[in-house]
Structures are given as structure tokens and as C-alpha cells.
Amino acid sequence: MSVFKSFITSDVIVSPFEVNKQFTFQGIEAITGSGIDFFEGYNASPQPWVSGSFPTGYITSQSQVLVYKSIKELYYSNYLLNANGSPAATASFNTDGTITGAPSTTNHYNYLSNTLPPNRFFPTSSGVIIGVISIPSNLFGEYIKPGTFSFSGNPSGYGPLTDDGEGNLISGSVKYGDIIYTHGLAIITDQTWWEDQYPLQSAFFTCSFQSTLTVFETQYKCTIRENEFNFSTNPTQISGSSNSGVLYDFATGSFFTPYATTVGLYDNNYNLLAVAKLAQPLPLSAVTDTSILVNLDL
């Protein structure tokens, strides 16, 4: 036997909060086995590009030329003339209806990590190479937690490549590239660093970071009024072994109050969806309201 009570709007509160998980992969086989891929970007200009040429990638095959051009367009198009930002082209609208000056601007969205003054250098000389470490979204969640990315390569004099929490990839005090937290991309724009690590065939490689995911916690406030649920459905209060339904004397007194041990959450069709067990039986008050808070993390 069960008793039911419906929630009202004020009884249900949904609160989002972020959770993080640490990932660490040791060795190139473990790193690529997790889905993390490595690509080279190559600026073949002014050489003609042929489809299928310059393949790159450990897990999936991509074109080095297209990797270079994609990274350039998505994350550096505003910083090709200056690492602090290219000057925006301006135009003047004359009274006769003509336009003087370049009407186009460099107002592209390059997925900056913050509102601090940017510093994004991107090499544009012919034949230059960049490196890209691509982390799949099923690992980093919504974004890589700033300040947690680290990549250790060959023991060749370079220290670990880490992010400074502001979108910069640094080793010591030297910047070697940028990290796009929301896309799970570590971009190495220093060709010397990348060529010293590539090809990735060393057991010394370690990649670590923390993922970020928003979890929505729903809190249900189960309020029992002083005049509600004042009759126990526990069969042990029935006396004897007969089916007469006679209650023990202690259950018929005016001071008797039942205990709550379990709260069930049901849908509109009375299908049981969740069960909350109390740590210990809770006596229900006959003179004041009793509230039980049930939290669900989804």
C-alpha cells in the first residue's frame, strides 16, 4: 500500500554545477588508443595542392595542407599581421553615396579563451609546419579545464608543454602555441619544437588534462504536513497472525506517529522512477511540517 502527494513548482529546484575528471595517458599507444590524434599542418603555398597528398594523422588520415588552412582560418585569421591582432580595415561613407577605403574588416571569431589582450602568433611562410594535438569531445566533455593540460615529449631538452590557464601553451617561460579549450585542440606553432617531437614513437610521451562537464542536480522538496501520512502502512503493526487487521495497542494511541524510511518518486501514471532511502527512520511530527530533500544528479 502506498500514499501519494503531488509536487508543486516551488518544490522542485534545478541547479547546474560543473564537475571535472582527470585523464592521464602514458606512451603513444595509450594516447592514440584513447582517441587522441596528432596532425601536422603544412603550408604548401605557392605549390599546387592535389587531393590526397600530404597525408597526416595517427588515427584518421587528413591532408596536411587542409589542416594548416583550417587552423589558420578558424583560430588565427585576426592575427596574421600581428600576434596582438591585425588592424581592422575601415571605410568612409561619403555624402555622394560612395565608399572610400576597404569595406572589409578582420572581425572574425577566433575562439579566444578570455578578454585579456591576445597574443597569437601564426607562421605564414611557405613550407612552414605546425602541429595539432586533437582530443575527442567524449574525453574533454564541454571543454578542457584551463590550467590542466600537459604534454611531455621526447627527453630532448624541452620541458613539459603545459597551458597557463589563459590559452597559451608554454614550456618554462617560452610560448610554443595555443590551446583551444572548447575544441580540445593544442596547436603548436613553433616548428622547431614540433619537429623535435615528431614522429611520435616514444614511450616517454605523456598527455594529461581534466575534462569539464555540467551536471544538473534536481532537488525535490517532499513536505509532509502535520496532518498528513499519520497512519503507518507497515504490516508489522497488525497484531497476531490472522488477517483481521487488528492493530497493536501502541498504534492506536493518540501519541503514535509513524516513521518514514523511504521516499519514492513517481510519474503521472504512478510508475516508480526513483527511490530514496533515508539513513535512519525519521519520525513524522504531529505538530509541525516535516520536509525531506531528495537530490538527483543527472
The tens digit of pLDDT for each residue in 144-162 reads 999 999 998 765 566 789 9
Mean pLDDT of 201-224: 88
How is the chain split into domains, by residue range? 20-215, 225-297
Mean per-residue pLDDT, 9-18: 91
User: Which of 224, 199, 228, 219 shows the shortest CA–CA distance to 129?
Assistant: 199
pLDDT at 184 over 60: yes
Query: Whats the size of the chain, residue-wise?
Result: 298
Structure pTM?
0.74
Q: Quick one: average pLDDT of 230-243?
A: 66
Q: Where are the alpha helices (DSSP H) in the chain?
A: 28-33, 64-75, 137-140, 191-197
| Phi and psi torsions of 296, nearest 5° | -125, 125
CB 149 within 8 A of CB 81: no
Q: Give the integer Cα–Cα distance in Å for 88 and 111.
A: 18
- What digits encode the pLDDT tens for the residues 67-84? 999 999 999 998 988 888
- What's the whole-number average pLDDT of the chain? 85
Omega prior to 199 cis, within 30 of 0: yes
Q: How far apart are CA 29 and CA 56, in angstroms?
A: 17
pLDDT for res 32: 92
pLDDT reading at 163 higher than 60: yes
pLDDT of 1 strictly over 50: no
Collapsing DSSP states into helix, strand and coil, what is residue 279?
strand
Q: Kindly state the average pLDDT of the residues 190-216.
A: 83
